[in-house]
Chain A
């Protein structure tokens, strides 16, 4: 997918299944994504933003949801991540987007997470961010980061 000028000319898609409940599993998909972006020769500042957003999203799934499908797509202009989870959903998205607001358990906090920075930090690293949630069903995140 990289031509002789080192530019991408097609798109790349990969999906990952994330299992909720085990915090030790978090980071597998984002590590993989980081590796792929490095191989594609994407700028390291952009890779870092994508990796952080993906990791925060993964962490949210392992902490709160049952499971999720993470879809990762790279086109010549955009890196897109969609995380569609099956879980409790978020009753008040506005509140969840506020820095410092968290419903994390003491166990999550002992692991250094659940400080209420996850969703705001995903938004901060994204060029385009959308969140939809249905209570009792799940939450869907769209994260887009532009390459140029």
Chain B
């Protein structure tokens, strides 16, 4: 799935990274806890979060997150947008809640990146 597909599915506003909309996204992950993004995500994911701060973008950069979607209609401030541009991370915003946004992307085939040790296995 491309960043542009995510933008369309979630009816996103694009705040940063207009030239990066063809980037491929392999997985999805969702969290307001950046600690958990660092602990459980994999490279190549889109991050859905309600946390629109500089540290969200910093975390995304460190964890090789390929795009960030701010949920619940929150607007990132100018500093956050500037850092996303500098770090070449597409920054989008959607009016959907975290739950709905995840459901819509999952329904279109975007699988989870979160690898949790305690996760129940399918057919287990």
Q: Which residues of A contact B (CB under 8 A)?
A: 23-24, 26-27, 30-31, 34, 44-45, 48, 51-52, 55-56, 111-118, 120-121, 124
Question: Given contacts A27-B55, A55-B62, A111-B53, is CB(A44)–CB(B36) below 8 Å?
Answer: no
Is B32 located at the chain interface by the 8 A CB criterion?
A: yes
Pick from A34, A45, A118: contact of B62, CB below 8 A: A34
C-alpha spacing A77/B63, complex, angstroms:
23
Asked whether B38 lies within 8 Å of A52 as measured between CB atoms, the reply is yes
Asked whether B36 lies within 8 Å of A113 as measured between CB atoms, the reply is no
Is B119 located at the chain interface by the 8 A CB criterion?
A: no
A-B contacts, CB under 8 A, total: 66
Question: How far, in Å, is B50 (CB) from chain A's closest CB?
Answer: 10
C-alpha spacing A26/B61, complex, angstroms:
13
Asked whether B34 lies within 8 Å of A48 as measured between CB atoms, the reply is no
Question: Given contacts A56-B38, A117-B36, A121-B35, is CB(A112)–CB(B59) below 8 Å?
Answer: yes
Q: Which of B10-53 contact A (CB under 8 A)?
A: 32-39, 43, 49, 51, 53
Question: How far, in Å, is A7 (CB) from chain B's closest CB?
Answer: 24
Asked whether A121 lies within 8 Å of B58 as measured between CB atoms, the reply is no
Question: Given contacts A24-B54, A27-B55, A112-B51, is CB(A117)–CB(B38) below 8 Å?
Answer: yes
Asked whether B64 lies within 8 Å of A44 as measured between CB atoms, the reply is yes
Asked whether A112 lies within 8 Å of B34 as measured between CB atoms, the reply is yes
Nearest-CB residue, chain A, relative to B87: A31
Question: Given contacts A30-B62, A45-B43, A55-B62, is CB(A117)–CB(B55) below 8 Å?
Answer: no
C-alpha spacing A51/B38, complex, angstroms:
10
Asked whether B33 lies within 8 Å of A27 as measured between CB atoms, the reply is no
Q: Which of B38, B53, B54, B58 has the most CB of A within 10 A?
A: B38
